[in-house]
Amino acid sequence: MCSLCRGWIAAALTALVPCSLGAQTRLFVVDSAWLPTHIDRPPSPYTGGDQGPNILRFRNGRHLTVDLYEVRLLGQLPRSGNAPFLLLGARMCYSCDAVDAVYVVSADADRVRGPLKGYHHPGTLRADDPNDTTAFYRSRTFLGRCLADTPQPVAVWFQAWRDSLRRWRSEVFRLSVRGDSVRGEFLKTQPPLIQTLDAVRSGACVEIQGIDSPEE
């Protein structure tokens, strides 16, 4: 059994979370009271063999039910004067061909109903075609104080698409907290990845573990 280990770094908490959460071991966390101690994946009351909306049970005794499935905690973003935003890795349905995505929800919402807006999960996407398994999308995603010109914690995607001429086109997408909501934008000037990797090494930023997914 793994232990729960935590320490404050750059005014945020980077923690090792319990193995039972089924998440990556290192997280960017700003409020440990809103760390789930367990994520329930109950059976669906409507369809046999299906999964019902997942339930996150927090250390402070609260819980959050979301219309998402196979939920994993990826980290948190601070929200001034309120519970943090949670970044969740999940699927929008259970018995379907949906790929994993990143979803952002308020920890103190109690109930979040779908459909929810999802962002690309880090890793690679490739066609579900035995004749062409070459990836057409790849990305690395980071959470925390990851950009030199952005002092507040953000989520940032360094991503690339393969176009119709099989050339890779790169872009950087930033997700930041503005008041009581999150705002996503593509950066006109792409910051160098090396600076974000330096922030990871310093402990101010955490990379979200990627997955390799076919597009169904």
In this prediction, residues 2-13 reach a mean pLDDT of 31
Q: State the average pLDDT for the chain.
A: 87
**CA triple 163-169-183, angle to 5 deg:** 115
What's the Cα-to-Cα distance from 117 to each of 34, 96, 189, 197, rounded to whole Å? 22, 17, 25, 28
Structural domain that includes position 145: 5-215
63-118 pLDDT, tens digit per residue, is: 999 999 999 999 999 998 899 999 999 999 988 888 899 999 999 999 999 999 99
- Buried b / exposed e across 119-145, counting CB within 10 Å, b at 16+? bbbbbbbbeeeeeeeebbbbbbbbbbb
163-200 pLDDT, tens digit per residue, is: 888 899 999 999 999 989 999 999 999 999 999 999 99
**CA triple 31-23-76, angle to 5 deg:** 25
151-166 pLDDT, tens digit per residue, is: 999 999 999 999 888 8
User: Do 50 and 41 form a contact (C-beta atoms < 8 A)?
Assistant: no
* DSSP tag of 113: -
Model pLDDT, residue 169: 95
User: In terms of Cα–Cα distance, which of 126, 102, 124 is closest to 215?
Assistant: 126
Does 115 sit behind a cis peptide bond, omega within 30 degrees of 0 on the bond before it? yes
Domains held by the chain: number: 1
Whole-number percent of the chain with pLDDT over 90:
69
Distance between CA atoms of residues 56 and 76, nearest Å: 14
